[in-house]
Amino acid sequence: MKLLVSILCLLTFYSNCTQVYTVILAGGSGERLWPLTRKEKPKQLLCIDEKKTLLEQTIERMQLIPENHIWISTTKQYHDQIEEIVGSQVESIIIEPSKKDTAPAILYACFKLYDADPDAIVMFVPSDAYIPVTQYQKFSNYLQKGVTFAKNNECLLLFGLKPTYPATGYGYIEFEPVGNGPCKVTKFREKPSEEVAQKYLEQDNKLWNMCMFCGKVSVFLQEFEQHAPDIFKQVKDAQEEPDCFNKVKPDSIDYAVMEKSDNVWVLPVDYAWTDVGNLAVFLSLKNIFPGNYLSVDAHDNLVDSTKEIVALIGVHDLCIVETNDALLITKKSEAEKVRSIVKQLKQKKKYEELL
């Protein structure tokens, strides 16, 4: 009986898919993964398993969305590479006039989508998260629940992951627990200290913010117009005059809209998920497929090198990345600071080819 109900629900979902779209946000560069990332190779075009890029994996797991309803939002800088790799797998690649963070990018896509289908229900997802293939079905089940809720309610819906350890690198969503479905969001919490993160882990009303947003495109536009009127006007003007986009102040959708609105809900999920936010995270995933290195009294090191052999003696908790033109060594706990190295490279013209 349960199987029959599941099949009927799935068929009903597919029958409504004419209104459902996904927009994959792929405009970031991923500076915290340098030297693996470069101007010509942003984070979303890196491979965890040497077979499919993070962007390709993101498209693959959106299996419930019709192929002709999958859009990608990126910048001119990455358009040609993305077109070459996945252009045949998506309906449209939106080119953001300039890089202005997630709020302007999402709003710009909303205007484009509203013109194409004013009744659209849209799911915005990042292009650089990692979900194991074995978890795709569970992901799809939650996607179905989220889209169905968004279709039947005039609100914005977030996806939030139940914390599995006291993470200090994620923002948190505080909510009112009510059953197993979507819950009303009460507050957003910034990246906490380790002590605070431990307390969050022990509470039942905290979730990691996965930066996945769902809702009717009309509701997104209404919320932007109400809570971020300046961004709304400038991005709207940019539909006719792209140069207006340059006037937009960069901002994340969390700060610009979500934290100001009282019309936001969250769906707690529990599938395996990792935000590939820095080298330590990336290498910990990639080292499922370990390289060739030897060690003596060395442990908990992450290595990515083109050398035939890497030998480690007496060192611990390091990230070591070697490319044909750069070598980076950092403590795992300091991996977030790689962006500071990139900043220094930008200040010196002679290192421009390393960016």
pLDDT in tens, 220-231: 999 999 999 999
3-class state of residue 342 by DSSP: helix
Burial of 209 (0-12, 13-18, 19+ CB in 10 A): buried
Indicate whether 240 and 331 sit together in one domain: no
**341, 352 in Cβ contact below 8 A?**
no
Residue the block writes with tokens 């229900």: 121
Distances (CA, A) of 234 to 73, 155, 224, 237: 18, 23, 11, 5
Sign, CA dihedral 236-237-239-245, equals negative
Q: Report residue 104 as tokens.
A: 């302007």
CB half-sphere exposure, 163, CA atoms < 13 A:
25
Cis amide prior to 35 (ω within 30 degrees): yes
Q: Tell me, what's the pLDDT at 1?
A: 53
Q: Tell me, what's the pLDDT at 291?
A: 57
Q: Tell me, what's the pLDDT at 153?
A: 95
Q: How far is it, in rounded angstroms, from Cα 160 to Cα 35? A: 31
Q: Tell me, what's the pLDDT at 3?
A: 46
Q: Report residue 168 as tokens.
A: 């200090």
The predicted-structure confidence for 152-193, as pLDDT tens digits, reads as follows: 999 999 999 999 888 888 889 999 988 788 999 999 988 888
Nearest-CA neighbor of 128 among 56, 77, 72, 54?
A: 54
Indicate whether 137 and 60 sit together in one domain: yes
Please identify every stretch of the chain with a pLDDT value under 70, giving residue numbers as ranges: 1-17, 287-291
Indicate whether 240 and 339 sit together in one domain: no
What DSSP string runs through 49-90?
SSSSBHHHHHHHH-TTS-GGGEEEEEEHHHHHHHHHHHGGGS
What DSSP string runs through 234-303?
HHHHHTT-GGGGGGSPP--HIIIIITT-S-EEEEEE-S--EE--SHHHHHHHHTTS---EEEES-BS-EE
Residue the block writes with tokens 């611990």: 316
Indicate whether 332 and 203 sit together in one domain: no
Indicate whether 132 and 26 sit together in one domain: yes
**185, 207 in Cβ contact below 8 A?**
no
Indicate whether 253 and 293 sit together in one domain: no
DSSP 298: -
Residue range of the domain that includes 95: 2-275
Q: Tell me, what's the pLDDT at 7?
A: 44
Q: How far is it, in rounded angstroms, from Cα 90 to Cα 117? A: 17
Indicate whether 83 and 200 sit together in one domain: yes
Whether pTM > 0.85 for this model: the answer is: yes
Indicate whether 226 and 296 sit together in one domain: no
Q: Tell me, what's the pLDDT at 194?
A: 87
Question: In the chain, how many domains are there?
Answer: 2
H-state helical runs in 192-242? 194-201, 217-227, 229-238
Q: What is the CATH number of the domain that holds 237?
A: 3.90.550.10
3-class state of residue 28 by DSSP: coil
Indicate whether 262 and 330 sit together in one domain: no
Indicate whether 194 and 126 sit together in one domain: yes
Q: Tell me, what's the pLDDT at 17?
A: 59
The predicted-structure confidence for 42-55, as pLDDT tens digits, reads as follows: 999 999 877 899 99
